[in-house]
């Protein structure tokens, strides 16, 4: 290869390249395959090599693709005598090749020139283009055949490795938590950082086959929103200079109640099952795109099965887990059922959610089940008394409650259950209590027409009462006082509150109401007579105490 061969030409493939069988053809690799007869005159650095093109055209750039090796004998410059004019033409020629993103220029020393013209060497150095001197013993056809053999070998090797990668991805489906195993298999095979996001954009799993930086969260959120609004979109590409991020939406086909090209079910928005994000240091090769496509299809199959599956079996399982079927909740394989059906990390807490459709919401019960499975990332969803009962590990935050409302549902959410509960005896009892908690809260949800979490409310019975219903009961109970003239009404309400707050102690209640204790006694007796109740009974005092919480101080 001559004494001018650069250091990068003789190096072996780097360890990180060796792990990627489809590294692709480069200038350095091609030169290593040539058995002599080629001397590097100008070192322009290594570059991808996509084709070899012999041409003696004055300007071949119209026929070039990026990253070609251009071979020439210099015949295109013979019509101009040696001198400044030829030098300018050569410089323009090299500049045009660089503009067309040629990877290198090979110059044949026969039949027109004995050596590389000095003007050509100078132009290649000036423009940063690799220049080779090709001996007459090396025909251009030999270089083309060598390149074709390498390309054929690379293609066969790529196809073999893609097939092996696809088989490995399929084997991941036979293990526990198949989606986790699948992305852990995918990441090192394509040299990428792989993220699997749930339908709400939260990180479900991450696997690293590369140290590349993950995409900016705000940019990723914008891309996810764009994909969600365009059902036909299958891929968005983010590039931040340091990495290329491929963002694939995961979608599930939903069932239709009856055939028909324009039925209501066919026009509903896709509930979506999440997002697959691949972060690569370089733009993806054909092989990477092929393997990623296989992984995407397999993930959609897994998540589609989780969403749709068999409604009857999972509904029965949900009712059993909640302990509301009359069965003993300690019987059966309920621990295994939870781990298999709820999904997510077993160390995360469980929640029980009751979802009810809004008045203008979707009325198709099967579609409501699909939506709940998607929103809460679980298969444990059952229809129950007109509502949907859900067991999930998904934290039900404000964005998720907003998504549920946009889908036409209001939700009542239990408090988080301790994931360390030992055995089904404790676990089942806690789930049943959480169901009862959500059921009590659902009345208030429907009354106020807004989703609620038990964790955001107080822990008293009054906190669980539906607001409008509680106010109506309070007005009915206190009606004789509320119908009095304003001055008398406000006085009696103040007296009753002070007396109940003081637990019937006359001195304390009189001080709170700013009245003499004798006046306090007289007013309390008058209130008992108006209401027709016996204030010595604890149950009566309790009802009045709760009723006053839902009545303003002025009785409005």
Pairing of strands 68-72, 104-108: parallel
Question: How far is 8 from 435, CA to CA, in rounded Å?
Answer: 68
pLDDT band at 307 (very low <50, low <70, confident <90, very high): low
* Residue 7 belongs to a domain: no
Residues 91 and 129 in one domain: yes
Q: Are 493 and 481 in contact (CB under 8 A)?
A: yes
Predicted local confidence at residue 465, as pLDDT? 60
- 102 three-state secondary structure: coil
Which stretch of 291-305, 332-346, 537-551 has the lowest confidence by average pLDDT? 332-346
Predicted local confidence at residue 324, as pLDDT? 59
Q: Which residues contact 8 (CB under 8 A, 6 or more apart)?
A: 28, 43, 45, 46
Residue 464 or residue 351, greater confidence: 351
CB atoms under 10 Å from CB of 41, counted, come to 19
DSSP output for 516-545:
-HHHHHHHHHHHHHHHT--TTSHHHHHHHH
Residues 288 and 331 in one domain: no
Chain mean position to CA 48: 34
* Residue 260 belongs to a domain: no
- Arithmetic mean of pLDDT, 4-33: 54
* Residue 127 belongs to a domain: yes
* Residue 262 belongs to a domain: no
Residues 135 and 196 in one domain: no
| Model confidence pLDDT, tens digit, residues 393-429 | 888 988 888 888 888 889 999 989 887 765 556 777 7
First to last CA, the chain: 98
Say yes or no to pLDDT of 267 above 60.
no
Structural domain count of the chain: 4
**Positions of E strands within 66-103:** 68-72
Say yes or no to pLDDT of 302 above 90.
no
Question: How far is 371 from 25, CA to CA, in rounded Å?
Answer: 48
Task: Give the pair of three-digit tokens for residue 450.
Answer: 């807004």
Q: Which residues contact 498 (CB under 8 A, 6 or more apart)?
A: 509, 510, 512, 513, 520
CATH of residue 78 = 3.40.1390.20
Predicted local confidence at residue 255, as pLDDT? 40
Question: How far is 417 from 431, CA to CA, in rounded Å?
Answer: 8
Residues 283 and 398 in one domain: no
Say yes or no to pLDDT of 9 above 60.
no
Residues 442 and 332 in one domain: yes
Residues 358 and 482 in one domain: no
Residues 278 and 345 in one domain: no
Domain finish residue from 307, 335, 369: 307
CATH of residue 274 = 3.30.450.30
What range does the domain containing 520 cover?
467-552
Q: How far is CA 32 from each of CA 39, 199, 229, 409, rounded to the nearest angstrom?
A: 12, 49, 50, 65
Predicted local confidence at residue 130, as pLDDT? 94
174-207 in b/e form (b: 16+ CB < 10 A) is eeebbbbbbbbbbbebbbbbbbbbbbbeeebbbb
- 301 three-state secondary structure: helix
* Residue 202 belongs to a domain: yes
Please give the helix or strand (H or E) that residue 228 lies within, else none: helix 217-229
462 cis-preceded (ω within 30 degrees of 0): no
* Residue 14 belongs to a domain: no
pLDDT band at 544 (very low <50, low <70, confident <90, very high): confident
Share of the chain above pLDDT 90, in %: 20
Residues 434 and 471 in one domain: no
- 452 three-state secondary structure: strand
Domain finish residue from 129, 147, 165: 147
* Residue 166 belongs to a domain: no
Domain finish residue from 429, 457, 485: 457
Predicted local confidence at residue 432, as pLDDT? 84
- Arithmetic mean of pLDDT, 91-118: 93
Residues 371 and 409 in one domain: yes
Summary mean pLDDT of the chain? 79
Rg of the chain, C-alpha, whole Å = 38
pLDDT band at 329 (very low <50, low <70, confident <90, very high): very low
Question: Strands of 38-42's sheet, edge to edge?
Answer: 38-42, 130-134, 104-108, 68-72, 51-54
Say yes or no to pLDDT of 201 above 60.
yes
């Amino acid at each position: 290869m001559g004494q001018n061969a650069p250091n990068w030409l003789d190096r072996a493939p780097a360890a990180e390249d060796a792990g990627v069988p489809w590294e692709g053809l480069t200038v350095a690799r091609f030169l290593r395959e040539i058995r002599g007869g080629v001397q590097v005159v100008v070192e322009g650095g290594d570059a991808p090599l996509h084709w070899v093109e012999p041409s003696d055209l004055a300007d071949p750039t119209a026929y070039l693709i990026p990253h070609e090796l251009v071979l020439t004998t210099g015949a295109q410059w013979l019509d101009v005598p040696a001198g400044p004019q030829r030098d300018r033409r050569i410089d323009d020629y090299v500049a045009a090749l660089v503009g067309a993103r040629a990877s290198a220029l090979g110059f044949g020393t026969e039949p027109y020139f004995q050596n590389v013209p000095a003007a050509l060497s100078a132009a290649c150095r000036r423009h940063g283009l690799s220049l080779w001197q090709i001996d007459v013993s090396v025909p251009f056809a030999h270089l083309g055949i060598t390149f074709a053999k390498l390309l054929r070998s690379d293609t066969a090797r790529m196809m073999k490795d893609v097939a092996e990668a696809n088989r490995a991805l399929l084997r991941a489906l036979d293990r526990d938590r198949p989606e986790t195993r699948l992305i852990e298999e995918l990441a090192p095979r394509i040299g990428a950082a792989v993220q699997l996001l749930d339908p709400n954009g939260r990180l479900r799993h991450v696997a690293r086959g590369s140290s590349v930086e993950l995409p900016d969260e705000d940019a990723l959120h914008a891309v996810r929103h764009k994909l969600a609004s365009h059902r036909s979109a299958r891929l968005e590409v983010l590039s931040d200079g340091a990495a290329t991020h491929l963002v694939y939406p995961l979608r599930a086909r939903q069932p239709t109640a009856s055939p028909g090209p324009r039925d209501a079910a066919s026009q509903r928005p896709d509930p979506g099952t999440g997002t697959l994000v691949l972060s690569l240091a370089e733009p993806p090769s054909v092989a990477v795109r092929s393997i990623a496509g296989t992984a995407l299809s397999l993930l959609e199959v897994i998540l589609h099965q989780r969403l749709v599956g068999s409604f009857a079996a999972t509904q029965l399982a949900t009712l059993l887990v909640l302990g509301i079927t009359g069965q003993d909740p300690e019987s059966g394989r309920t621990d295994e059922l939870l781990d298999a059906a709820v999904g997510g990390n077993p160390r995360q807490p469980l929640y029980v959610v009751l979802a009810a459709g809004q008045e203008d919401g979707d009325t198709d019960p099967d579609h409501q089940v699909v939506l709940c499975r998607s929103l809460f990332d679980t298969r444990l969803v059952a229809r129950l008394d007109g509502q949907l009962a859900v067991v999930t590990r998904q934290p039900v935050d404000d964005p998720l409650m907003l998504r549920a409302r946009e889908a036409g549902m209001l939700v009542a959410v239990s408090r988080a259950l301790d994931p360390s509960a030992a055995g089904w005896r404790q676990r089942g009892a806690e789930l049943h209590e959480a169901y009862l908690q959500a059921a009590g809260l659902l009345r208030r949800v429907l009354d106020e027409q807004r989703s609620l979490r038990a964790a955001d409310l107080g822990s008293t019975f009054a906190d669980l009462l539906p607001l409008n219903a509680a106010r109506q009961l309070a007005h009915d109970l206190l009606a004789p006082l509320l119908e009095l003239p304003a001055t008398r009404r406000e006085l009696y309400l103040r007296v009753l509150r002070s007396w109940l707050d003081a637990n019937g102690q006359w001195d304390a209640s009189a001080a709170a109401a700013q009245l003499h204790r004798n006046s306090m006694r007289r007013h309390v007796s008058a209130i008992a007579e108006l209401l027709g109740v016996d204030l010595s009974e604890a149950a009566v005092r309790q009802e009045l105490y709760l009723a006053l919480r839902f009545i303003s101080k002025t009785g409005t």
